[in-house]
Amino acid sequence: MDTKFLNRAANVRNRNSDKSVVDFPVNIFPMRFADSSIESSVQGDRGVGIVRMDTQDVIARASSDYKLIPHVEILDAVESMFEANGLDYDLTDVRTGGKANARMYADYELPEHKIDIQGEEFTPFVRITNSYDLSVRFKLVSGLYRVWCSNGAIVTRSVMNTQFKHVGDRADVTKITLRVDKWIEELGIVRVNLNRLVDTPIKVEIVREDNGKRFLHVLKRHPVVNERPASQDILSRIFTTQKDRLAIVDSGILSNNLKETGENLYSVYNACTEYATHYMDKPDVCKNFQKADGVQERIGQVFELV
């Protein structure tokens, strides 16, 4: 077993709550050809260059209808939305990555709206993503953190799920809205569905083929059909590689959660969120964050939390 998995608490990464890391000047400039003869002969959209001004890094090239959405303006707009709706919030994690720190990921927790599941506290959070390098669109979604270990999953579908392209009026951050009553109602649905997972038994199977390869299946028990129990593989719908599915076993994450909360879907849910939050998501590798973020979205969908 990889020793990095033995101390679960040690894998909880440090968080940064300082907005200044995303507050740097970025601008866009029309593209031009250095050779004037080529410049005069080119027709159509030359596009724009996206430049970080304090370092003079050219981040990316975009079409002429690209509209810049500064990271810090997004965070200010989200905080204004919270305040307008009377919501207390804590900025608990903000970080950057990619060339010239062009990508931003930020989490806000809403501590006054914690919910209780089997004696454990879960805190709602809002996640914001944005980029200047065209890799990530501006997106705002909501999820839940398990308080004691900060495992997270994205659970909401509509009332706080916003995406804007960096084009024209669609890139107006003042259009961020939230219906608090609907959002609170949706949290109630999530609470009911998380409790439902506790009552749903599962079966864990590890199959070793003749070539030595192992395959893990976590099966959700369905009602008996034609006198035989039907089953559905859970992990294959969440993790795209067998390597990740087996790592949940080899790390001890799945067995630890099964011991803590029983052989049910709630344990599998917590194992998936623990793995995605603390092992897939490396603080300095944006590609890993994007992968983990996608897994956290699929967790909410596969476990049908909303």
Each residue of 45-77: pLDDT tens digit?
678 999 999 999 999 999 888 888 899 998 998
Q: What is the pLDDT of residue 71?
A: 93
Q: What is the pLDDT of residue 261?
A: 87
Tell whether the model's pLDDT for residue 158 goes beyond 80.
no
- Average of per-residue pLDDT across 193-210: 81
Whole-number percent of the chain with pLDDT over 70:
72
Q: What is the pLDDT of residue 250?
A: 86
Whole-number percent of the chain with pLDDT over 90:
15
pLDDT-wise least confident of 8-22, 41-55, 91-105, 173-187: 8-22
Tell whether the model's pLDDT for residue 10 goes beyond 50.
no
Question: 231 versus 78: which is more confidently predicted?
Answer: 78
The DSSP H or E segment spanning 267 is helix 265-275
Residue 276 has what DSSP assignment?
I
Q: What is the pLDDT of residue 5?
A: 34
Q: What is the pLDDT of residue 47?
A: 87
Residue with tokens 């890139």: 171
pLDDT-wise least confident of 158-172, 186-200, 259-273: 158-172
Q: Round to whole Å and give the CA distance between 284 and 111.
A: 27
- Average of per-residue pLDDT across 173-179: 71
127, amino acid identity: R
On average, the pLDDT of the chain sits at: 77
Q: What is the pLDDT of residue 105?
A: 87
Tokens matching residue 274 = 């623990």
Residue 105's φ and ψ, nearest 5 degrees, are -135, 130
Judging by DSSP bridges, how do beta strands 115-117 and 228-233 pair with one another?
A: unpaired
Q: What is the pLDDT of residue 139?
A: 83
Q: Round to whole Å and give the CA distance between 153 and 162.
A: 17
pLDDT, one tens digit per residue, over 98-139 is: 889 999 989 899 889 888 887 888 888 888 889 999 888 888
- Cβ-count burial of 111 within 10 angstroms (0-12 exposed, 13-18 middle, 19+ buried)? middle
Tell whether the model's pLDDT for residue 253 goes beyond 50.
yes
Tell whether the model's pLDDT for residue 9 goes beyond 50.
no
